[in-house]
Amino acid sequence: MFIIWDMAGKEGRTIQPQPIEFTNAPYKCSVCQKQVFEFLPLAQYYIENLRNHGFPYKPEEGETINFEQYLCPHCGASDRDRLYACYLKEKLPHDDLVLLLDIAPSLPLSNFINTYKNITRHTADMLVEGVDFAVDIMNMPEINSDTYDILICSHVLEHVKDDKKALSELYRVLKPGGWGIIMVPIILTLDQIDEDPQVTDESERWRRFGQFDHVRLQQQIRFC
């Protein structure tokens, strides 16, 4: 077993090394481009904690999470990383020089984005060392306004006390006309946001928000 990045050990996001790529495998990882017989399921760490703490929603009620086909066995990309790679392949420029801000970066997706030599990528995170900006996204005075052409902020806002403040900061640092990927856990059957940053008990957070360090669950919003 090896660990993809620091939090992976704690959260059980470890994968078996599979150096052999079978070119006749039926699937392909959109992040590392390798052929895959089957993706790996979500770590038991999550499944057991959700069950033990009484999280009331079924796997199929969550959006953009595939419990059975979660991780790429080669690069460790999650299902959402693979989704973003499909989208980014369509959206990222191949020639124009652009500046991209990657908040709480995923290592597999970082490797994918770094193949674009026209993209300068800056990283930000409040908890992980080695990033360009060690910041709380609710307040990022280190980053000038109207700076970035593109930003990625995946599964960060559900950890943040005031997500509206964070969204305001993300908007501020994005150039006019810029774009980004901002994703959060969504329960499709919720009819309103369930949030309470005052809840600090980890067991209650697992039960109510689906993870020990989450403070909200989002519902699906339909735009007509």
CA 14/CA 123 separation, integer angstroms: 23
Cβ-proximal residues to 27 (8 Å cutoff; 6+ apart), any chain: 35, 36, 37, 38, 39
Question: Which among 51-59, 73-81, 177-185, 191-199 is the span making contact with Zn ion, rule CB under 5 A?
Answer: 73-81
Q: How far is the CB of 29 from Zn ion (least distance, A)?
A: 3
Choice from 77, 113, 153, 183 touching Zn ion (CB under 5 A): 77
Size of the site for Zn ion (CB under 5 A): 7
Name residue, tokens 């969204």: 167
Name the minimum Å distance from CB 123 to Zn ion: 20
Of 58-66, 72-80, 147-155, 186-194, which segment contacts Zn ion by CB under 5 A? 72-80
State the minimum distance, in angstroms, from the CB of residue 70 to Zn ion: 12
Query: Is there a contact between 36 and 28 (Cβ–Cβ < 8 Å)?
Result: yes
Using rule CB under 5 A, residue 109 touches Zn ion: no
Examine residue 15 and tell whether it contacts Zn ion (CB under 5 A): no
75 binds Zn ion (CB under 5 A): yes
Residue of 4, 13, 15, 31 interacting with Zn ion (CB under 5 A): 31
Among 17-25, 71-79, 128-136, 146-154, which window interacts with Zn ion (CB under 5 A)? Answer: 71-79
Instruction: Report the relative pairing of strands 14-15 and 186-187 from DSSP bridges.
Output: unpaired
CB atoms within 10 A of CB 140: 19
Phi-psi map region of 56: left, alpha, beta (phi>0 left; psi -120 to 50 alpha): alpha
Q: Is there binding between residue 74 and Zn ion (CB under 5 A)? A: yes
Distance, in Å, from the CA atom of 224 to the CA atom of 222, rounded to the nearest integer, reads: 6
Report if residue 32 touches Zn ion, rule: CB under 5 A: yes
Looking at the Cβ atoms of 75 and 215, the one nearer to Zn ion is 75
Q: Residue 151: name the closest of 136, 164, 169, 165 by CA.
A: 169
Q: What is the largest CA-CA distance in the chain?
A: 51
Residue 157 contacts Zn ion per CB under 5 A: no
Paired residues of 141 in beta bridges: none
Where on the chain is the footprint of Zn ion (CB under 5 A)?
29, 31-32, 72, 74-75, 77
